[in-house]
DNA sequence: CGACCTTTTGATAGTAGTCAAATGAAGTGG
DNA sequence: CCACTTCATTTGACTACTATCAAAAGGTCG
């Protein structure tokens, strides 16, 4: 039905939507259901974590900011699950340059990229104090064979990660700098909200340079974007170092991101 | 060891590598091993396909350019494997904008993103005549429980896709327009090479607008980039419509991409 | 307090987007 | 078989955004 139209339609570059970035974020337009959804989601996260705990013997490990969960090049033997804390996934290259490709929170799996070639391709670094569970992959595979529920949950997690990567690709491809930063904050808040954590105030555990690296911007541009967002009242700073960011109205922030694409819509 | 250095190191935006984009592409600097590696890879792809065929009953389906393999919103019941042809994965949004998030070839799985929420999030559209196999997900899960080899192969495929998405994110984040287009072509050729297909000449089955959409550029910029690459002899056009692109020296193309980042390297 | 790091802000330059027009290829109907 | 339409592509001129370079201010920790 859409068959031919789909391939023939002209695709303008900025023609895309980021607002629905996370599955969680998509609820932002319906404030009523927000709380419900988030609670439900948080519960599902908890259930999945419980499922893992009950199926496989995991090794708990407390990490502090800067600690490496796993390192690129390491032989892949374990997967990790973030129980608490935040983590950055850094892809680094032979010539020493590095790129942050993802940020992880409670309930997310770490190390999935290592499965393909039996070696980790990225570093995973804790941004904060937290706890990770090390899950031996072999044991997980065995447990999955016995418990189809665990297998589908695991597949779900991988699929979710794919979807998340995609939406971040979309933001980077389509949003101007200010909106990209706004989207980043909005996503971060949404990720916390989905997990039942406080969302009105978030502590960036990354420097401007890191945020910029993640978003494909320079640190100066990130700084300017944050200043502009603050000037417009979409965010506020809670501390002197400007790492604590208050989001008075997450919906407004989402709207701002959405509006950045609106002009393109009109043309179509 | 790298622990603190990693988080403290200044991350400049353009500081990243795209040359290693695909796992396949990374072989480009070692021409000797290229053929071997690619042959080995092609065989592995064939083996994986055989594994699927022998484990699950699949439904073969021939598609032509523009045909939709699956559509966003559809209930997720089947996964698909590309046997031949090329496919674009299009993420479309409530307001009708669309973004090409991935391009798939022989051996790739389609629809993995649907597992997470039991519904497809993207459209998958054939760019060319080809054959896809529809694999009932339920049957796959059952087969995986019996055959751990299939499960790990499947996990591998998902992991590989994650890695690929990441590398494309990296290109988009870090490369200037010309290099981004060059990288796109280089990746495409590498993807074909990995599968044992001819790589010296590739037929773009996408319009400039589609390429631009995928790379986060406007169609004009893509056109200009192609013209410049042709002017420098890195590529050539084989037909009037300029869809057939000849790559006389894949290594040189890879080098061009790599050089786009060189200045940043020098500083570090 | 002083050294160091992060962040902010300004001035300037370069890249890519936007608008617009022309060319070329493909397909339609006379 | 050839005008005519339509769509993809190319190219130019101009604009806007973001990177770059540079300097200063604010925080943190010894």
What's residue B39's pLDDT? 78
Share the mean pLDDT of chain B.
Answer: 83
Q: Is the CB of B8 under 7 A from strand C?
A: yes
Least confident of A20-29, A184-193, A198-207: A20-29
pLDDT in tens, B242-266: 889 999 999 999 999 998 876 544 4
What mean pLDDT comes out for the span A124-139? 95
What's residue B13's pLDDT? 37
Least confident of A24-33, A231-240, A254-263, B122-131: A24-33
Torsion angle of the four alpha carbons B226, B185, A111, A118, in this order, in degrees rounded to the nearest 10 = -160
What mean pLDDT comes out for the span A211-238? 96
> CB of B267 within 8 Å of any CB in chain A?
no
What's residue A94's pLDDT? 65
Q: Which residue has the tokens 């496919």?
A: B87
What CA–CA distance (Å, rounded) separates A111 from A132? 12
pLDDT in tens, B137-163: 999 999 999 998 899 999 999 999 888
What's residue A5's pLDDT? 35
pLDDT in tens, B105-121: 999 999 998 999 999 99
What's residue A14's pLDDT? 36
What's residue B34's pLDDT? 62
- Has residue B22 got a pLDDT over 90? no
Contact A91 B166 (CB under 8 A): yes
User: 3-class DSSP state for residue A159?
Assistant: helix
Contact between residue A28 and residue A37 where contact means Cβ atoms under 8 Å apart: no
Contact B116 A172 (CB under 8 A): no
**Nearest residue to D11 (CA, C1')?**
B224
What residues in B contact A225, CB-CB < 8 Å? none
Contact between residue B110 and residue B141 where contact means Cβ atoms under 8 Å apart: no
What's residue A188's pLDDT? 94
Which of A158, A184, A173, A6 is CA-nearest to residue B92? A6
User: 3-class DSSP state for residue A205?
Assistant: coil
Taking the stretch 78-107 of protein chain A, residues with Cβ within 7 Å of any atom in nucleic acid chain C are none
pLDDT in tens, A55-101: 999 999 999 999 999 999 999 999 999 999 999 999 987 667 788 99
- Has residue B100 got a pLDDT over 60? yes
**Nearest residue to C16 (CA, C1')?**
B221
What mean pLDDT comes out for the span B4-30? 38
Token pair belonging to A64: 């502090």
Under DSSP, the state recorded for B29 is G
Of all residues in chain A, the percent with pLDDT exceeding 90 is: 59
What's residue B94's pLDDT? 65
What CA–CA distance (Å, rounded) separates B161 from A162? 8
What radius of gyration do chain B's Cα atoms show? 19
H or E segment at B255?
A: helix B250-259
What's residue A167's pLDDT? 84
**Nearest residue to D19 (CA, C1')?**
A218
What's residue B42's pLDDT? 82
Count of alpha carbons within 13 angstroms of residue B119, beta-carbon side: 6
What's residue A214's pLDDT? 94
H or E segment at A144?
A: helix A137-146
What's residue A144's pLDDT? 93
Contact between residue B217 and residue B268 where contact means Cβ atoms under 8 Å apart: no
Which positions on strand D lie below 7 Å from a protein C-beta? Answer: 7-13, 17-22, 26-28
What CA–CA distance (Å, rounded) separates A60 from A133? 5
The angle subtended at Cα B222 by Cα B218 and Cα B224, nearest 5°, is 115
What CA–CA distance (Å, rounded) separates B169 from A166? 9
Phi first, then psi: what are they for A29, rounded to 5°?
Answer: -80, -10
What mean pLDDT comes out for the span B221-238? 95
Can you spell out the DSSP letters for B86-137?
A: -EEEEEE-TTS-EEEEEEE-TT-EE-GGGTTTTB--EEEEESSSEEEEEEEH
The angle subtended at Cα B138 by Cα B134 and Cα B144, nearest 5°, is 95
**Cβ under 8 Å to B: A residues 70-129:** 71, 90-91, 93-102, 112-117, 121-123, 125, 127
Least confident of A231-235, B1-5, B39-43: B1-5
Q: How confident is the model at residue A262 (pLDDT cuts 50, 70, 90)?
A: low
Taking the stretch 230-249 of protein chain B, residues with Cβ within 7 Å of any atom in nucleic acid chain C are 240-241
H or E segment at A228?
A: helix A219-231
- Has residue A11 got a pLDDT over 70? no
What residues in A contact B268, CB-CB < 8 Å? 96-97
Q: Residues near B120 by Cβ (< 8 Å), separated by ≥ 6?
A: B70, B71, B72, B73, B74, B76, B111, B113, B114
Q: Considering only alpha carbons, which residue of chain B is nearest residue A4?
A: B66
**Cβ under 8 Å to B: A residues 160-219:** 160-163, 165-170, 172-174, 207, 209-210, 212-213, 215-219
Which of B198, B122, B206, B171 is CA-nearest to residue B22? B171
Torsion angle of the four alpha carbons B67, B70, B74, B77, in this order, in degrees rounded to the nearest 10 = 140
**If DSSP states are collapsed to H, E and C, what string results for A97-113?**
CEEEEEEECCCCEECHH
What CA–CA distance (Å, rounded) separates B244 from B242? 6
Contact B13 A213 (CB under 8 A): yes
What CA–CA distance (Å, rounded) separates B194 from B189? 9
Q: Residues near A256 by Cβ (< 8 Å), separated by ≥ 6?
A: A179, A182, A229, A232, A234
What radius of gyration do chain A's Cα atoms show? 19
Under DSSP, the state recorded for A196 is T
A-B interface: how many C-beta pairs under 8 angstroms? 255
- Has residue A28 got a pLDDT over 60? no
Domains by residue range for chain B, with CATH:
56-166 (2.60.120.10)
What's residue B27's pLDDT? 41
Q: Output B231 or B13, whichever has higher pLDDT.
A: B231
Q: How confident is the model at residue A155 (pLDDT cuts 50, 70, 90)?
A: very high
């Amino acid at each position: 039905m859409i068959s031919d139209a789909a391939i023939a339609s002209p695709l303008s570059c900025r023609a895309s939507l980021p607002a629905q970035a996370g599955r969680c974020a998509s609820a932002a337009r319906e404030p009523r259901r927000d709380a419900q959804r988030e609670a439900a989601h948080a519960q599902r996260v908890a259930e999945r974590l419980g499922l893992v705990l009950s199926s496989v013997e995991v090794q708990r490990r407390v990490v502090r900011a800067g600690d490496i969960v796993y390192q690129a090049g390491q032989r892949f033997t374990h997967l990790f699950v973030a129980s608490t804390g935040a983590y950055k996934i850094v892809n680094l290259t032979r010539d020493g340059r590095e790129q942050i490709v993802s940020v992880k929170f409670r309930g997310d799996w770490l190390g999935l990229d290592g499965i393909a070639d039996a070696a980790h391709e990225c570093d995973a670094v804790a941004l904060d104090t937290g706890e990770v569970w090390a899950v031996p992959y072999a044991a997980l595979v065995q447990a999955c064979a016995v418990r189809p529920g665990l297998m589908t949950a695991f597949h779900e997690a991988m699929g979710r990660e794919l979807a998340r990567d995609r939406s971040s690709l979309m933001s980077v491809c389509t949003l101007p700098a200010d909106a990209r930063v706004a989207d980043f904050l909005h996503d971060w808040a949404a990720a916390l909200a989905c997990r039942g954590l406080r969302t009105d105030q978030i502590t960036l555990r990354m420097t401007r340079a890191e945020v910029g690296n993640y978003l494909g911007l320079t640190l100066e541009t990130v700084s300017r974007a944050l200043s502009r967002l603050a000037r417009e009242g979409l965010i506020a700073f809670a501390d002197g170092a400007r790492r604590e960011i208050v989001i008075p109205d997450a919906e407004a922030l989402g709207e701002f991101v959405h509006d950045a694409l609106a002009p393109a819509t009109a043309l179509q």
